[in-house]
Structure 1
Amino acid sequence: MKIVVCDPVSEKGIAKLREHPEFEVVVLERKHEEDELIRVASDASAFVVRSETKITRKVIESCRQLKVVGRAGVGVDNVDVDAATERGVVVMNTPGGNTISTAELAFALMMSLARRIPEADASMKAGRWDRKKLKGTELNGKTLGILGLGRIGSEVALRAAAFGMEVIGYDPYLSHARAKALQVELVEKVEDLFPRVDFLTVHMPKSEETIGMVNAQAMASMKKGAFIINAARGGIVDEQALIEALESGHLGGAALDVYTTEPLPEDSPLRRAPNIVLTPHLGASTVEAQINVGIEIAQQIADYLLTGAIRNAVNMPSLDARTSELVRPYLILGEKMGRLLAQLSPKRNDRLVITFGGKATELPGDPVVRAVLKGFLHAAAGTEVNVVNVRSLANSLGLLVEQTKSSEETDFHEWLHVEAWSGDKRTSVGGTLFSSRLLPRIVRINGQPVEVVPEGVLLILRNVDRPGMVGHIGTLLGKAGINIANMSLHRDKASGQALTVLNLDSVPNGDTMAALRNDPAITDVHVVEL
């Protein structure tokens, strides 16, 4: 498998990839634009990028063997995540690798503003001694507002507490218990935070909800002389509103490490704004952070390509290696059940209901649901369907997917049940894992108990329950030279019908299928290929 390292990554990270003989590691010495990247990496299984190389839709669609894009860092603005999801390509980042680096930079920027360090440095180098002019402010006793209390925001909060600051924060996903542990007062509405702070620091991801969150209205509501720091993502702080608030003197200063457009244009008005400290996106630019993110993304890519373990994916649920190993038998079972159900049900279905029972209720459900969908949609999308793009594919087909848990007691310790609904017509299959070897078995078809090994070719028949039928069916198949490998039979005395499921060594030909379908004692026939 070919892994192309597109941007500068630590040598330790590259060495981690080269530990595996399965990988051919290609390191590009310079940035490649779209068409050039496609020419040199069309057969790549993985890309490793930082923030320079753009993995566009065209790149993703042209690299047919691509399985994963690894971002050594946090932001994935340079990767077309939607295109990757559609093509079944996992996009990973390393959110923990530069946590300390970015938190320390945010604090350094805050201290630079408070004590006017860049201005003092420039004054000294210009030959002046502006001691009286360069009066700063202490952090002790001041109120720090933090937007976003994830990994980085939490580290900033801990450091602020050590400096004697009062910390208030806005994060709609943070629990009150976690906020208490961080010594942070949570506000429920972001607009309640702005008027109270002396310093505001941003540590939220860039999204539709956060773009422009710190806008002109927010700045106007802040104290006169307050300071703003943004070392998260460009665009969360409205740059034009910031310039106006600095020029009017309402804000005491600002420090930015990130920008709406990067690199920051030479003629950007931010460069001429008063009382502002600018750095060129240095959040992850420490020796330690570069090593950490390089090693982390290398390990994540290796784990995914070699074992299927997914960590820190932005378009897939993450599973560590241990959980992946635990879930794997259910993924096999789920995909088999999906394939079986798709071949038994009408082609056009409105709804798919996946129920977990017994010990299976303890599983992380989404990976299993994706496996079922992968099998169920195989006929519709063929090799184009995979566990990454199945949910978006289901949405595009108008297939509603429901996941439920059941406390119903059955004969099985762990089980799955999948129903496909086409209008008011329901088709269903049930499955479980047998023995300590966790072997997949189909144990129900349309509510009827069976015991079927979900492998190879299945012939599923509903026939009149009378003596000689099994022999009759066997004779028809034997005449066609088709061997029966296994058989399961369920008799329904109330209806006088029997459900017969046969594992066959080969697919019956057209004449054999016609003979079965035309037999008056056989009411329903399906051939399923698993």
Structure 2
Amino acid sequence: MKALLTENIHPVAVENLQRHGYDVELLAGSLSQAELIERLPGVTLLGIRSNTNVTAEALDAATDLAAVGCFCIGTNQVDLAAATERGIGVFNAPFSNTRSVVELVIGEIIALARRLPEKTQRMHAGVWDKSAQGSHEVRARTLGIVGYGNIGTQLSTLAEMLGMRVIYYDTADRLSHGNAQPMASLNDLLAEADVVSLHVDGRAGNAGLFGEAQFSRMKPRSLFINASRGMVVDDHALRRHIESGHIAGAAIDVFPSEPKAQGDRFESVLQGLDNVILTPHVGGSTQEAQQEIGHFVSRKLATFHREGSTELSVNLPQVQPPPLRSGSRVGVLHRNVPGVVAELNLSLAKQGDNVSAQYLSTSGDLGYVVTDAADPLAAESLQRLADSEHTLWVRTYDA
């Protein structure tokens, strides 16, 4: 069993997978589609971060692939529909680096409000600029959070602890944390916020979400932060508004085009601007977060492939069977049509297989059933399940 991990995933993931019997290859950088296609044959588990794209064409080459682990929050870099059609499980880490991103944003809010990027540059240049001009406290300022999910809500809580007023906008109904106030529209938020921070996901509909029209509606001398996705923001429009003085400062951690590997050359239209913080997509890159992500996602991959658990899969019906202590187990991913489970149980009964437990769930066009038996299942039963027109795959597990 082979696992391929890209983009310098934390060594704890390597250790976890090796402990479960996988031959692990760890790459420091991301892979192009051509490189990925070349490497995927023979790979059982694939681990990526945000800069490796897993397309339908790549999945066609992945004849042995059981699961993809996104060692990050987002999964938009994976063609989920294609993975689902092929029965390939996709897992991510929706919570593990939340705190790291939030702490970075809090630090950036304070740094921008105090104009620290300019101060430190001038000090390095030998200029003693001891002035309060343009420097402000964040207390009593209004933070506008666009996207009120796991990161947005935790940012909301910490910002209030600093004495900020928090408003937010989300396309979904979200429960307010603390005294945060929901806004009816993005435009309403932009009209009131002294700081705008983006925390939306990478779905295609969010491409170009924030451009000239949105920057124009922001308050004069307000601050802008993007720690979500690079494709969400028109960086050229942001530069124009910073150069005009309308936007007082910005912190950007994500970019439409990012280097593939450590040390590669980086270029952005936002380089060379005063009071602009540029960071290399490190929102979740703390030692604590990366270790937790490495542990969390590698464990999900291993338990899916070795025990049949689809807990927290982003694309398969979720079934969480307990660890198999004795006997045998079979997992069947199938088309969600009436009678499949009855057909399965009838097949087992005909061979005299003694079912001890069964766990099942459906989601959209797919169904997934895990069946435990006291003894090894008959080969005839397994073949009959595999031959069903509704079956995508059958996998067996032993205690």
TM-score of Structure 1 vs Structure 2, range by shorter chain: 0.7 to 0.9
**SS in structure 2 of the partner of residue 130 of structure 1:** coil
CA pair 276-32 structure 1, distance change in 2 beyond 3 A: closer
CA displacement, residues 160-195 of structure 1 (integer Å, 9 cap, x when unaligned): 1011011011123244xx30x432101122221110
List gaps (5 residues or longer) in structure 1. 342-359, 388-530
1:34 shift after superposition: 4.0
Length, aligned pairs only? 358
**SS in structure 1 of the partner of residue 363 of structure 2:** helix
1:224 shift after superposition: 0.7
The question of whether the paired residues in 2 share the 8 Å contact of 1:199 and 1:226 is answered with yes
| Matches of 2:279 and 2:293, distance apart in 1 | 21
| Matches of 1:83 and 1:186, distance apart in 2 | 36
**SS in structure 1 of the partner of residue 205 of structure 2:** coil
1:366 aligns with 2:363: yes
CA displacement, residues 301-348 of structure 1 (integer Å, 9 cap, x when unaligned): 0111112222333323444445999xx99979988923878xxxxxxx
1:67 aligns with 2:66: yes
1:63 shift after superposition: 1.6
Query: Within 5 A, what are the aligned runs for 1:224-239?
Result: 224-239=220-235
1:54 shift after superposition: 3.5
1:262 shift after superposition: 1.4
| Matches of 2:33 and 2:362, distance apart in 1 | 37
The question of whether the paired residues in 1 share the 8 Å contact of 2:307 and 2:323 is answered with no
Aligned to 1:158: 157
Aligned to 2:254: 258
1:5 shift after superposition: 1.8
Aligned to 1:279: 279
Aligned to 1:20: 20
Aligned to 2:111: 112
1:266 shift after superposition: 4.7
Identity among equivalent pairs (%): 31
State the AA in 2 paired with 1:57.
A
CA pair 321-234 structure 1, distance change in 2 beyond 3 A: farther
The question of whether the paired residues in 2 share the 8 Å contact of 1:228 and 1:254 is answered with yes
1:198 aligns with 2:194: yes
CA displacement, residues 199-247 of structure 1 (integer Å, 9 cap, x when unaligned): 1111110224322222222222221111111111112222222112112
User: Structure with the greater relative contact order (CA < 8 A, sep ≥ 6): 1 or 2?
Assistant: 2
| Matches of 2:388 and 2:239, distance apart in 1 | 54
| Matches of 1:83 and 1:108, distance apart in 2 | 39
CA displacement, residues 253-275 of structure 1 (integer Å, 9 cap, x when unaligned): 11111111113975532113443
The question of whether the paired residues in 2 share the 8 Å contact of 1:42 and 1:64 is answered with yes
| Matches of 1:150 and 1:324, distance apart in 2 | 35
State the AA in 1 paired with 2:147.
G
1:221 aligns with 2:223: no
1:282 shift after superposition: 0.8
1:337 to 309, 314, 339: 339
Aligned to 2:94: 95
RMSD, matched Cα:
3.5
| Matches of 1:100 and 1:192, distance apart in 2 | 27
| Matches of 1:158 and 1:275, distance apart in 2 | 26
Aligned to 1:130: 129
State the AA in 2 paired with 1:222.
M
The question of whether the paired residues in 2 share the 8 Å contact of 1:144 and 1:165 is answered with yes
State the AA in 2 paired with 1:310.
T
**SS in structure 1 of the partner of residue 339 of structure 2:** helix
CA pair 324-131 structure 1, distance change in 2 beyond 3 A: farther
The question of whether the paired residues in 2 share the 8 Å contact of 1:335 and 1:371 is answered with no
Aligned to 1:512: none
CA displacement, residues 135-162 of structure 1 (integer Å, 9 cap, x when unaligned): 4111100111001111111111111101
1:84 shift after superposition: 1.9
| Matches of 1:54 and 1:369, distance apart in 2 | 24
The question of whether the paired residues in 2 share the 8 Å contact of 1:331 and 1:367 is answered with no
| Matches of 2:152 and 2:29, distance apart in 1 | 34
State which structure, 1 or 2, has the greater radius of gyration over its C-alpha atoms.
Answer: 1
The question of whether the paired residues in 2 share the 8 Å contact of 1:331 and 1:368 is answered with no
The question of whether the paired residues in 2 share the 8 Å contact of 1:172 and 1:188 is answered with no
| Matches of 1:234 and 1:319, distance apart in 2 | 34
The question of whether the paired residues in 2 share the 8 Å contact of 1:140 and 1:163 is answered with yes
Query: Within 5 A, what are the aligned runs for 1:53-452?
Result: 53-132=52-131, 135-175=134-174, 178-179=175-176, 181-263=177-259, 266-321=266-321, 337-338=339-340, 365-366=362-363, 370-371=367-368, 385=392
1:249 shift after superposition: 1.3
| Matches of 2:267 and 2:332, distance apart in 1 | 55
CA displacement, residues 498-526 of structure 1 (integer Å, 9 cap, x when unaligned): xxxxxxxxxxxxxxxxxxxxxxxxxxxxx
The question of whether the paired residues in 1 share the 8 Å contact of 2:76 and 2:203 is answered with no
State the AA in 1 paired with 2:285.
S
